[in-house]
Amino acid sequence: MNKLKWGIIGCGRIAHRFVQGLHEVPGTELVACWSRRAETVDSFVEQYGGRACRSVEELLLCDIDVVYIATLPDSHALYSILALNAGKHVLCEKPAATNLAILESILAVAREKGLLFMEGMKPPFFPLYQKLKEYLLIDPIGPVGYVRAGSSVADISRDHPNFSHDLVGGSIMQIGIYEAFLAIDWLGNTKKVQALGRFGETGIDMFSIFQTEHERGYAQLYSGFDLHGKGDALICGTLGNVTIHKNWWNPTRATIDYLDGRIVEMNEPFTTGGLNYEIAHFCELVRQHTTESPIISHEMSRQMIGMLDEARAQVGLKYKGE
């Protein structure tokens, strides 16, 4: 197996978790890293290896196959397009773009270059989520028509980038993207969104709720930073329902409650923070010369950010340039 050589743009919290996952995936090598702060990349390379680059241009000139973009959402599009134009496959943290129009500009470059672009969305690759999907094929809960999910995390430090309007913060963008994935994955494309939200002193939404209509049913979703929310998910069908216990986006436990009284419990632990499963999927796509994930497809990314665009419009949250 030829090693896939990785470069990382951005060396913050998520990049540390990513590299820990990368080390668990055979046939990968961390080659180069860059961050806007030299001391950050130096510390990162000292801990994990690779070459510390002094500019993004230097990183893109390195002998790498793939770029993982771990910066904050305000710069995802910039670095995705730079990497694609340099001939590199791109795995970009969620949300991949600030809005649908910007996402389309990224996807256009990926199509033109014939390269793989995928938005990082980890839940569907976890062992529990995959086992659940497989089990329901043989013991179904009937057509799914309702999803309820959400999380509100009240213990984030107020200096966290999630609270920065300039860095595309806010609970809809930082947490709601997960809920958007879950609703779309089980119910299909979004047809209608109804949203409410309240703002904090930094100009971002501190708590939002959004109800959505989809091709196959309805969802009720929430996201927040100042209330302590549960973080589980409920998926309802005609023959039963599934509870994915908290934290549903790092899933390890699920309960299937059937209409006939049967209860099925699932327990599937994960390793190394869970990003290793997403990375392994991406690497397989690169080796197969595939330019789009069948799981986090380009259309899935469009649907997710499109839902959040509409939710933000209804609560009145705009970012620079919109």
pLDDT, tens digit, 9 for 90 and up, residues 291-316: 999 999 999 999 999 999 999 999 99
- pLDDT of the residue at 2: 84
Cα gap 127→116, rounded to integer Å: 24
Alpha-carbon distance of 304 to 299, in angstroms, equals 9
**What is the share, in percent, of the chain residues with pLDDT greater than 90?**
97
What pLDDT shows up at residue 10? 97
Angle at 167 between CA 80 and CA 319, to 5 degrees: 95
Torsion of CA 184, 187, 193, 194, to 10 degrees: -120
Tens digits of residue pLDDT in 167-204 = 999 999 999 999 999 999 999 999 999 999 999 999 99
Do 100 and 309 form a contact (C-beta atoms < 8 A)?
A: yes
Rounded CA gap, 73 and 102, in Å?
A: 12
Q: What pLDDT shows up at residue 72?
A: 94
pLDDT at 321 over 90: no
Mean pLDDT of the chain: 97
What was the pLDDT predicted at 117? 98
Q: What does the pLDDT look like over 85-111, one tens digit per residue?
A: 999 999 999 999 999 999 999 999 999
Beta carbons within 8 Å of 142's beta carbon, 6+ residues apart: 237, 238, 239, 240
Residues in the chain: 322
Instruction: Please say whether the beta carbons of 235 and 248 come within 8 A.
Output: no
| pLDDT classification of 1: cutoffs 50, 70, 90 | low
Question: What tens digit of pLDDT does each residue of 229-274 get?
Answer: 999 999 999 999 999 999 999 999 999 999 999 999 999 999 999 9
Residue 222 has pLDDT above 80, yes or no: yes
Over residues 111-151, the pLDDT tens digits come to: 999 999 999 999 999 999 999 999 999 999 999 999 999 99
